[in-house]
């Protein structure tokens, strides 16, 4: 949302207004203040949320209603309602990208957790929930100090479809199941009133499925927003921008790739906000696509408000040319189901749209009911927040030791060891007399967090933290910045490398290469970074340790195959604790266990058009497909790659070899009639009756995980399946279960995967209907295979 649209410069004017009223005092303004404004029905906590919202809307004039249709909602002084800023950010910690959060007050920092792509690499649902919960605590504390709102626009749950995408770092990766489950856990942790106690076993994924029952009343601690709906994953590429791009998506890909994260975020996560994206989908702007937005409400049970991205209502007319006037754009968005516009477009054009008969006041009322209902669920109209459930949260709850330890644990678990020839790592700090650190990111704190980073509680570089282990540590940038356009600094880097026992080169990406409004054009290391790595490796006494930063995949085939580069570690954007986590892993105080949540492609993948939204490979046009589920080309590193300092082995203790689906079918179903007529069935198409009956066919896959090495460690167990190719577009394989377990040296533990065949063993057909292929499904667990016959 870092807009560069000239047509919405007024947005920044409203942001300035928001900043002004937000810092009027050290406490948030609130409606229903006694004695003059507390007697309205919308202040009566004994009434239902719906009754209170209806009452409030009924008291507003049309201009007052229109004043609510911006992220900076106007005050209604005669009713004692102060202005409200809807736009706050909390992707991986509180951030001041939007006007809702400010660090210009008594609170000047907040915990900076690792970027989402790094936390996702932990494959630990418990960790994701706890991060959401911790960020929410800090969010409420900031609100109490008058420095944040109650509505936050996170998480980003778009699938990381193309490795060049500048915002892929903000997502949980390329697998729809992982993205979906991250979204659910983060939203639940963020929104729930009653938080789970912080678990002591963060090494493992230990989810308590009964922890959400206490929030049945619909009340919220904070509001989370699932974005960007839908098929949004292009910033600027070729002649396309996110403002005018039309994502052409097949029904098949929509059903089993692009939509699942949003459906689960709403159905299971109970998100209270949905953000529609800039792009069009199959010719219709996402914020004007009523069938998609209403599907969320009607089919998925969405109860919340829908906001546009900033200023995605304006782009309907100004960039996409979908309507003939601003009034038509506003009318189409409101009729489609958009409740609020980030920006000023609705403020400026709704009145005339109503006067021209393009939209009714009743539809504006519908939008306001959704908006006020969320504010009421947040307790905004319940009186002084200092006397409420969260009134005691304050500056002591921000940057706490618990939250810093959580951020550290998330970074530890997300860092991925990609190469470790001849067990170069871990280093023994007692046997390392000197260390050389090379690379522009090694001593730079500005981009450690990635996009949507606020003001971290602490600012320490990778170099500073490595100094804690080896006092004789020297540093040379090698390149003046990450773009590395010149080799003038190579001499100094080579000189310090020659004299050190061990050399660590920090290479990769930063926000100058990938960010909002900027996609990459290459998958190689920027500029002359590759040459820097090779020059240093050529003179180093021992094989070099290569540390890679950045969210997007990088083609480091040269380093993977070079024996002079002994280890490769991916740290992504590790947040404020990144240096400590990296040092602990290099020197063996923590055993790495992260796994890549994306496929790392070779540079040749840049020949594929980023604008091509197809997921499935198509050999007839030389199209290799996308993500590990469908990609058929060469890889640098595969999805799920990740090494450890120890060795883990698996044994499948129990799993069915046959699964009959006959009991799912009603007697008069078309499938049974086909069988009665001797017709062969290749797959079972799912419908609501079958899906609701599918619980009876759930089965367990019990697995023993043994640590046969000499070091304790946590390990991500990943269960994949390969379907029989009985219809077009079947995945090469797909993840059906994962679990992070902690196993001590020379011990073993058991984990159980519960498989729902309607979810894990199904795929979308070419018309977007879920089907279960019949025949042999092969389950993969590391090198183990298990055949499961799915039949009638």
**Residues catalogued as catalytic:** 309
DSSP 8-state symbol, 315: H
Parallel, antiparallel, or unpaired: how do β-strands 305-308 and 273-276 relate?
parallel
Q: Helices marked H in 545-651 — which ranges?
A: 557-561, 578-586, 627-630
Distance of CA 221 to the CA centre of its chain: 20
Dist CA 456 CA 134 (whole Å) = 14
Q: How far is CA 759 from CA 260, 630, 735, 785, in A?
A: 11, 18, 11, 20
| CA pair distance 148, 94, nearest whole angstrom | 9
Helix, strand or coil, per DSSP, at residue 200: coil
How far is 458 from 663, CA to CA, in rounded Å?
58
Residue with tokens 């590990």: 628
Whether 74 contacts 371, CB under 8 Å = no
Render the burial of 318-351: b for 16+ CB within 10 Å, e for the rest: bbbebbeebbbbbbbbbbbbbbbbbbbbbbbbbb
| Strand pairing report for 416-420 and 305-308 | unpaired
Distance CA 149, CA 98 (A): 10
HEC per residue, 381-419: CCCCHHHCCCCCCCHHHCCCHHHHHHHHHHHHHHCEEEE
Burial of 317 (0-12, 13-18, 19+ CB in 10 A): buried
**DSSP-assigned letters across all residues of 442-469:** TT--TTSS-SS----S----HHHHHHTT
Tokens of 359: 């939209």
DSSP code of 152? B
- What is the number of alpha carbons within 13 Å of residue 33 lying toward its C-beta? 11
Contact 748, 703 (CB under 8 A): no
Answer whether 455's CB lies under 8 Å from 107's CB: no
DSSP state of 348: H
Cα separation, 505 vs 382, in Å, equals 55
Q: Can you tell me the distance from the alpha carbon of 174 to that of 239, in angstroms, rounded to the nearest whole number?
A: 25
Q: Which residues contact 172 (CB under 8 A, 6 or more apart)?
A: 116, 117, 119, 120, 155, 157, 160, 178, 179, 182, 183, 597
Q: How many CA atoms lie within 13 A of 388 on its CB side?
A: 22
Contacts of 589 (CB under 8 A, 6+ apart): 583
């Amino acid at each position: 949302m870092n807009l560069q649209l000239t047509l919405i410069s007024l947005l920044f004017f409203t942001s300035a207004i928001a900043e002004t009223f937000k810092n009027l005092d050290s406490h948030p303004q609130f409606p229903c203040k006694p004695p003059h404004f507390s007697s309205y029905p919308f202040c009566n906590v004994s009434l239902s949320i719906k009754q209170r919202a209806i009452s409030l809307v009924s008291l507003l004039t049309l201009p007052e209603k229109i004043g609510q249709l911006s992220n900076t909602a106007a005050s209604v002084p005669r009713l004692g309602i102060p202005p409200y800023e809807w736009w706050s950010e909390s992707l991986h910690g509180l951030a001041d990208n939007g006007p809702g959060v400010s660090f210009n007050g008594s609170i000047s920092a907040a915990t900076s957790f690792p970027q989402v792509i790094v936390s996702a690499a932990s494959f630990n649902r418990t960790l994701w929930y706890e991060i959401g919960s911790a960020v929410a605590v800090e969010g409420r504390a900031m609100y109490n100090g008058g420095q944040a709102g109650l509505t936050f626009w996170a998480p980003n749950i778009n699938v990381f479809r193309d490795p060049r995408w500048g915002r892929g770092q903000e997502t949980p990766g390329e697998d729809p199941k992982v993205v979906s489950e991250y979204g659910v856990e983060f939203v639940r942790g963020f929104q729930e009133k009653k938080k789970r106690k912080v678990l002591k076993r963060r090494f493992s994924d230990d989810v308590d499925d009964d922890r959400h029952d206490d929030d049945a009343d619909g009340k919220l601690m904070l509001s989370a927003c699932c974005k960007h709906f839908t098929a949004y994953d292009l910033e600027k590429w070729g002649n396309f921008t996110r403002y005018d791009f039309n994502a052409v998506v097949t029904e098949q890909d929509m059903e089993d790739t692009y939509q699942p994260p949003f459906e689960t975020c709403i159905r299971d996560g109970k998100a209270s906000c949905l953000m529609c994206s800039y792009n069009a989908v199959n010719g219709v702007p996402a914020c004007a696509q009523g069938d998609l937005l209403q599907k969320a409400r009607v089919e998925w049970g969405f109860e919340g408000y829908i906001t546009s991205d900033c200023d995605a209502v304006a782009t309907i007319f100004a960039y996409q040319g979908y309507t003939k006037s601003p009034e038509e754009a506003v009318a189409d968005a409101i009729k489609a189901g958009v409740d609020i516009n980030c920006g000023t477009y609705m403020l400026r054009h709704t009145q005339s749209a109503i006067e021209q008969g393009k939209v009714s006041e009743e539809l504006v009322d519908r939008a306001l009911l959704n908006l006020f209902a969320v504010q009421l669920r947040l307790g905004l109209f319940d009186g002084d927040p200092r006397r409420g459930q969260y009134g005691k949260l304050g500056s002591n709850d921000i940057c706490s030791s618990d939250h810093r330890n959580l951020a550290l644990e998330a970074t530890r678990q997300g860092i991925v060891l990609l190469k470790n020839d001849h067990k170069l790592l871990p280093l023994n700090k007692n046997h390392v007399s000197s260390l050389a650190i090379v690379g522009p990111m090694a001593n730079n704190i500005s981009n450690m967090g990635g996009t949507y980073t606020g003001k971290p509680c602490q600012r320490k570089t990778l170099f500073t933290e490595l100094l804690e282990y080896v006092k004789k540590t020297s540093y040379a940038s090698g390149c003046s910045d990450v773009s590395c356009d010149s080799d003038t600094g190579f001499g100094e880097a080579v000189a310090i490398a020659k004299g050190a026992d061990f050399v660590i080169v920090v290479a990769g990406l930063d926000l100058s290469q990938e960010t909002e409004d900027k996609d990459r054009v290459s998958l190689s290391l920027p500029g002359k970074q590759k040459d820097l790595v090779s020059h240093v490796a050529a003179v180093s006494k021992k094989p070099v340790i290569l540390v890679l930063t950045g969210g997007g995949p990088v083609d480091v085939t040269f380093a993977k195959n070079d024996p002079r580069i002994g280890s490769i570690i991916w740290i992504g954007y590790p947040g404020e604790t990144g240096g400590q986590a990296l040092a602990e892993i290099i020197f063996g105080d923590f055993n790495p266990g992260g796994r890549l949540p994306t496929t790392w492609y070779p540079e040749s993948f840049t020949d594929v058009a980023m604008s091509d939204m197809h997921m499935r490979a198509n050999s007839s046009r030389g199209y290799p497909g996308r993500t590990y589920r469908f990609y058929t080309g060469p890889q640098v590193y595969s999805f799920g790659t990740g090494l450890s300092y120890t060795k883990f082995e698996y044994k499948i203790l129990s799993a069915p070899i046959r699964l009959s689906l006959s009991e799912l079918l009603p007697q008069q179903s078309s499938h049974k009639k086909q069988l009665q007529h001797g017709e062969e069935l290749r797959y079972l198409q799912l419908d609501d009756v079958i899906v609701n009956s599918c619980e009876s066919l759930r089965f367990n896959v019990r697995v023993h995980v043994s640590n046969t090495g000499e070091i304790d460690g946590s390990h991500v167990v990943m269960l994949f399946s390969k379907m029989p190719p009985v219809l077009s577009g079947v995945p090469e394989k797909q993840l059906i279960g994962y679990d992070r377990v902690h196993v001590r040296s020379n011990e073993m533990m058991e984990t159980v995967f519960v498989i729902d065949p309607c979810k894990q063993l199904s795929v979308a057909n070419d018309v977007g209907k879920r089907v279960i292929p019949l025949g042999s499904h092969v389950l993969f667990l590391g090198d183990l295979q298990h055949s499961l016959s799915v039949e009638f």
